Each structure stands twice: as C-alpha cells, then as structure tokens.
Structure 1
Amino acid sequence: MAELTFYTNPMSRGRMVRWLLEELGVPYETRVIAYGPEMKSAEYLAINPMGKVPAIQHKGQVVTEVAAICAYLADAFPQAGLAPAVDSPARASYYRWLFFGAGPMEYAISNQACGFVPDEKQRRFVGYGSMAEVLNALEQVLSANDYLAGTQFTAADVYVGSQIGWGMQFKTIEPRPVFEAYWQRLVARPAAQRAAEIDNALLEAKG
C-alpha cells in the first residue's frame, strides 16, 4: 500500500480533497469507490464506518470528513504552505473559516437543499441563523482579503471555496460579485485545473 491512499468518487466531495492533493504535489494512490454495494462493503466500512467518501489513509492512519482531511494534510506536508505557521496571526483566521465551512456553511446549504428554512424562533438554535447571515459573513471576509486567511491561499480556500463555487453552479448560493471574483482566482490555480481534469476523466471513463 502507498504511504498516502485516497478513497474517492469523482461525483463526491472527494473532488475537494483531490484538489488539495494536487496542491501538495506529493505522490498518492487513488482508489475509486463506487456508490452502492462497494461503498457499503465490509472492506470499505473498515476504512470509514459511515460508508461514504472521501477518506485518506496516511502512514497507516485513517482520516475522514473533508475539513479534517484538509487540516490534516496541510499540517502533514507543511512544505506546501497550505496552512499558516502555528505562530502566525493568520492561523486564527485559517481555523475560523475552515471550520465555519464545516459547520454553519455546510448546515445552511444542506438544510436549504432539503427545503428546510428555519423560522425566527428556530434560527436561535440551528447554529447558523440563516443562509443570508452565512453568506454575509463570507462576503465580509472576502471583500477585505483575497483569501480567507488574508494574503495566503490555504486549505481553507480549497474547502470553503469549493462550496462557494459549486453552490453558485447549482444555484444553492447566490452569485454575489465578491464570490464570483474569489472563485475565478481559485479555479485559475494550476492544481485546481489538474484536479478537475483527473476527476472529469474518471467520470468520462465511467460513463
């Protein structure tokens, strides 16, 4: 087994991790897991008991959940510069927005896609208030900075940026000018383009 193994499906959030891996520029083995019986097989459930992708296995250790994978890989391969140094003031913003993406943003988008819009009373305990508040918070930080942690592109931009880009594509996030400009900066990155080419080729081969 390779030192770094990536379990994914090209029609999943694994595309975020693929992009991050291409940013790292380190060797990795890809294992495409099909939806259905293979993803729920005993063999794959031993990797991820949730029976979903993506997941990674690095030096014998398994990491699941995209935000956790992003944070782990950025720290495991510091030479790529995908996380601010521990003693950098930008580290606070990096953590803040990475986990904002995994918490309020993810919940708001998922609830909206499922047709649940919290009323005024429910907004007090859903953890994100409303979709408008989530988007306003993101617009505020991206109006002041090119990237979520300031001037440095990080793993937080891979994760949150992907959600913004896909959200605009599938019309779950309104295409505000700030978001469109941010997404164009991200997709211009060579690693983002390589990752998309790899996963799109897997989709074509499958279809």
Structure 2
Amino acid sequence: MTTTDRVTLYYSPQSRATGTRVLLEELGAPYDLHVLNMKAGEQRRPAYLSVNPLGKVPAIRHGDALVTEQVAITIYLADLFPQAGLTPALNDPLRGPYLRWIAYYGASFEPAMIDKFMQREPAPITQSPYADYDTMLGALETQLAKGPYLLGERMTAADVLWGVAFTWTMMFGIVPRKDVFVRYAERMASRPAYQRINADDDKMAAEHATAAGG
C-alpha cells in the first residue's frame, strides 16, 4: 500500500474510538491518528465539526472517503482489509448474521444504554427502537451463549466492536456482569491488540487531563 492508502483515524482515548483503533490493529491496517483532546473540547471546534458535524469520534478518512458512525466504520474497515479474515464474504452464509449484530449495536444497544445511563423512562415498547432493555440484552445473551464469539467459532470485526462495548458498559454498571458477558469481554480484552491500545489510552488520557488543566 502507498501512503495515500493509509487510514486516518480521528481519535480520542477512552472513547468509542478505542474500538476502531483496536480493529485497525487487528486488521494490520496502516493508519495515522488525528488525536482530539475531548477534555479540552477540541471535538466541538470548527476544524473537527467540518469532519463530523455531531462532534463525535470515531471518524475515519481513507483517500476521498470520509466515514463517520461506528457501525459504518466497522463494516468499511473490515471489508477494506479482507485478508485479515474478520469479515464474511458477500456469499458467505454468515454475512447476514454478521451485519445483523453490527447493526444491532447502533440501532438497539446504544439507545438502550443511553436511556439506562440517563435513567430515562424508555419509550413504549411499540415505539422503542430496542423493544425494552431486558429483551434487547436477552437476545445478546442468547447469541453469546452459543460462543465463544457472536457467530460461534469464528471471530469477526463484530466481536471487536462488542468486546469493547461490553468491557465499558459493565465497568460503569450499565450492563450486569452476567457470566456470559464477562467471559466474552475478557476473551476480547485479553487479545494483544486490545492490551496495546488500552495501555496507550491510559497514558494519552492522563496527558489530555493535564493539558486541559484537569
């Protein structure tokens, strides 16, 4: 690959962007970090709002393609580097379930987690994007019980997304520490890519706190 093929990841430590960086490592992808100090509010400044008007990370730039939204980024990157084996091919029977569980993260899990964290009354089940919290989480528990990964024996990019998500949401008590979730999160967190990025995030976050006067 040439330098023009490198992926630029708009990044802040200990954020949703962590999962994208772990995925890039798992894929063996060439990438550069464009680091934002969110403690200093850099994600709300015009320079970054021109990249993502919502002021959220992650976002990636690859050539002329600018991609935001964690779900879209996960699918894009895994397809971009198929040699890593983390994405089922279009004609693979696992492709549909793979896309299902990636989409489930953004469409159902995230809205449920925010309602839970904010202690908001959820919408009526017929209007809610995730039915109700217990039903949403129960579907995940049933799927992961088939393990060791979301799609059974095969690890995919979906597991990178979900492994980081479970680690953080259990840490903050938003998801209960059920055995199946704990085992799954520990399996993903024990991988070298996660270990490397987690250690680097700790250092980077400390530097940002100091720079922001925190």
> What TM-score, normalized by structure 2, do the two folds share?
0.90
2:164 to 155, 162, 165: 162
Task: Give the 4+ runs in structure 1 shifted more than 6 A.
Answer: none
CA RMSD of aligned residues (A): 1.6
2:197 to 190, 195, 198: 195
Q: Distance in 1 between matches of 2:41 and 2:126?
A: 40
Matched residue, 1:126:
128
Cα contact 2:163–2:189 (8 A) shared by 1: no
1:48-73 deviation line (CA, Å, top 9, x unaligned):
12122111101121111111111100
Which has the higher mean CA deviation after the structures are superposed, 108-117 or 30-39? 30-39
Establish whether residue 47 from structure 1 lines up as the match of residue 51 from structure 2.
Answer: yes
Displacement of 1:154:
1.1
Letter in structure 2 aligned against 1:20: L
Structure 2: state its 5+ residue gaps.
none
1:26 to 17, 24, 29: 29
Displacement of 1:182:
0.8
What SS class does the counterpart of residue 111 from structure 1 fall into?
helix
Structural mapping, 1:57-96, within 5 Å = 57-96=61-100
Distance 1:76 1:149, change over 3 A: same
What SS class does the counterpart of residue 43 from structure 2 fall into?
coil
Displacement of 1:37:
4.7
Displacement of 1:155:
1.3
Cα contact 2:74–2:161 (8 A) shared by 1: yes
Identity %: 39
What SS class does the counterpart of residue 9 from structure 2 fall into?
strand
Q: Distance in 1 between matches of 2:50 and 2:113?
A: 29
Alignment length (residue pairs) = 205
Matched residue, 2:146:
144
Letter in structure 2 aligned against 1:132: D
> What TM-score, normalized by structure 1, do the two folds share?
0.93
Q: Distance in 2 between matches of 1:183 and 1:91?
A: 23
Cα contact 2:164–2:189 (8 A) shared by 1: no
What SS class does the counterpart of residue 63 from structure 1 fall into?
strand
What SS class does the counterpart of residue 200 from structure 2 fall into?
helix
